[in-house]
Structure 1
Amino acid sequence: MNLQTLFEDFNPSKFVVHCCLLTFTIFFALRLDNYITWSYWIVFTPIWIWKSLVILGATVGSYVWWRYPHFRLEGEAYVHYKSMLISLALHLILLMFELLVCDKLESSRHLWILVFIPLIFISIVSIAVCIWAVKHERSFELELFCAVNVLQFIFLALRLDGFIGWSWEVVFVPLWIVMCLSLVGVLYTIIFAVILLRTPDMNAQQKRSSFQSAVGYTFLVIPVLIFQVLLANKLDEDIRMSFIAVVSPLFVSFTTLILMSFSAKGANKWWFGMRKDFCLFILSVCPLLQEYGNIAYQPERRREGVEMEQATDKFDVYIKKADLMKPVLPITSIDMPD
């Protein structure tokens, strides 16, 4: 078991976010189907955990930033810290939207258009954040999702409030467009992977990476498209399915995202003030785990290695003995008389 290979590019932020979203999706679907009768404040517990970790991580990171000024000189510390603050601001606004959604589902005291105002604001701000992220080579998945769906959020709010009477298939038109572009991207990754697999000059690592990307994006986009079709038909009452069956394709997408988080890279090193990769931080905090990671091996390979070392030692001793048997002065040829 090689822990270093398994967690080499592990991104803990994405892992936590996708696990929380998967759990929330299950709880929310069960609540809509009345399999559980929990309050929506309890159903949103995975979301509250996600946001609590964001706030706690940014707080600890800011404390370390101001408490130890010399840490600011480490590489791109300023870029990482600014990225953390921007992400914190967006998550706080998103938290406001989630609180309004939960309150709306519990009490129905205000319009949906008021609930979606924070989300629409995030979508507008995310355009500038995406430009900043591209300039500084930072990841921007959440920001990109909000930026391209601003029109979709407006349609959802108007449809839920009854200001428009369109069918849900028409309401989801902006999302259909996004999904079509995503399908084009998936098709491109598949074609690119096939070309690399048939190219003899490419090494095995590049072929494996392109194949894994194609498989990952396929299992990510196709289930989301299936979910969107089922949800539109469910809301239009064209089919009779439980909500847990409607959202079941999302389980495949979230599982794919969780697996992809182990090779996502790009984690911000200032969350919780770690200043290093997550696995290196864990190994430095837990010496026992570091020792286990260092001595992890397979018995067969270890025996082969010991035998090879013993054979090498014997060979070195033989070479040294042979060197000692060499004469000090060179021997010249002596011609014998006839």
Structure 2
Amino acid sequence: MNLQQLFQDFNPSKFVVHSCLLIFVAFFSLRLDNHIKWSYWWIFAPIWVWKALVILGATVGSYVWWRYPHFRLEGEAYIHYKAMLISLALHLILLMFELLVCDKLESGRHLWILVFIPLIFISIVSIAVCIWAVKHDRSFELELFCAVNVLQFIFLALRLDEFIGWSWEVVFVPLWIVMCLALVGVLYTIIFAGILLRTPEVNAQQRRSSFQTALGYTFLVIPVLIFQVLLANKLDEDIEISHTSVAIPLMVSFVTLILMSFNSKGGNKWWFGMRKDFCSFILSVCPLLQEYGNIAYHSERHRNGVELEQQSEKGGHVVRRADLFKPVLPIVSIELPD
């Protein structure tokens, strides 16, 4: 067990977002099937938690930014801080859309086209944000998703208000196009991983990394495509199936995203004013965790055909050690009181 290897690329932002979305999808599907009778304001509770963490993280990060001016000289601090503010602005607009959706589902007093206006606006703004992110080598998953689906959001609003009478399979045409491109990307990763597995010059780590990437994208894209097919047929009343069954493939994709967050590099270091990777911050705050993280445990009996053991004569007894301990993190001394 190597704690450093497990958490060194951990992305807490993606973990929180995808976990909240997974819980929300589960609640929403159960509510549509009338398995639970909660108000939609409670159904959207995971979304509110997500947005509350974003607002709190940006507030604390801004306080640290203005309270300690010398922190601004650390590397690319200005770019990280700008990225955090841009992300906060987009999340606030997205929060406005989510509040309108929840109110519409609860009271039904708005047109869907009015509800989707913030989402359409954020989709247009996301195009400029994506350009800025590429220029400054920043990640932009949420912005890219909104930018490529602006036409889809318009179709959804018009169809929900019955301004157009198209079948749902036609309404989802923009999303079909995006999914086709995603399938091409998945096919490329699978072929690339197969080539690396058959290439003896490639080391084992690269083969393992390419295989994990192909496996992750496969379990991410294929379930979303299945969910889209089931949803379109469900809305067109071509099949009789519960909303929970329709949502299961989508939940599989979110579980995949949660697992992939443990191997997702990047993340903004100014959320909550941490100014460092999440793992390093947690270890610096909790020295006891660092003590545990300093040790990787291995249980090996043989290495190159030789048994790993230490024998010493101590009063006629033989001492054998099969478990090896090696430090994997910088050891920080902790002074304990006498």
TM-score (norm 1): 0.89
Aligned to 2:192: 192
The answer for unaligned runs of 5 or more in structure 1 is 311-338
Q: CA deviation at 1:297?
A: 2.6
Separation (CA, whole Å) in 1 of partners of 2:176 and 2:107: 32
Q: CA deviation at 1:76?
A: 0.7
1:55 aligns with 2:55: yes
Separation (CA, whole Å) in 2 of partners of 1:269 and 1:129: 19
Aligned residue pairs total 308
Considering fraction of residues, name the structure with more helix: 1
Considering fraction of residues, name the structure with more strand: 2
- Superimposed CA distance per residue, residues 40-62 of structure 1 (whole angstroms, 9 cap, x where no aligned partner): 00000000000000000000000
Aligned to 1:317: none
Larger Rg: 1
Aligned to 1:83: 83
1:117 aligns with 2:114: no
Separation (CA, whole Å) in 1 of partners of 2:86 and 2:266: 16
Task: Point out 4+ residue stretches in structure 1 off by more than 3 angstroms.
Answer: 298-301, 304-310
AA matched with 2:176: W
Separation (CA, whole Å) in 2 of partners of 1:141 and 1:190: 22
Structure 2 counterparts to residues 224-263 of structure 1, below 5 A:
224-263=224-263
Separation (CA, whole Å) in 1 of partners of 2:65 and 2:131: 25
Separation (CA, whole Å) in 2 of partners of 1:21 and 1:309: 57
Separation (CA, whole Å) in 1 of partners of 2:102 and 2:251: 22
Structure 2 counterparts to residues 39-54 of structure 1, below 5 A:
39-54=39-54
AA matched with 1:23: I
Separation (CA, whole Å) in 1 of partners of 2:21 and 2:269: 23
Aligned to 1:172: 172
Q: CA deviation at 1:194?
A: 0.7
Aligned to 1:137: 137
Could you say what secondary structure the match of 1:109 adopts?
Answer: coil
- Superimposed CA distance per residue, residues 264-283 of structure 1 (whole angstroms, 9 cap, x where no aligned partner): 01111000000000000000
Aligned to 2:94: 94
Cα contact 2:2–2:295 (8 A) shared by 1? no
Change (3 A) 1:307 1:74: farther
- Superimposed CA distance per residue, residues 47-101 of structure 1 (whole angstroms, 9 cap, x where no aligned partner): 0000000000000000000000100111111111000000000000000000000
Q: CA deviation at 1:215?
A: 0.4
- Between the aligned residues of both structures, percent identity stands at 85
The answer for unaligned runs of 5 or more in structure 2 is 302-306, 314-338
Q: CA deviation at 1:201?
A: 1.1
Separation (CA, whole Å) in 1 of partners of 2:258 and 2:209: 17
Separation (CA, whole Å) in 1 of partners of 2:312 and 2:66: 51
1:33 aligns with 2:42: no
Q: CA deviation at 1:300?
A: 5.6
- Superimposed CA distance per residue, residues 115-170 of structure 1 (whole angstroms, 9 cap, x where no aligned partner): 00000000000000000000000000000000000000000000000100000000
TM-score (norm 2): 0.89
RMSD: 1.6
Could you say what secondary structure the match of 1:297 adopts?
Answer: strand
Could you say what secondary structure the match of 1:166 adopts?
Answer: coil
Q: CA deviation at 1:198?
A: 1.0
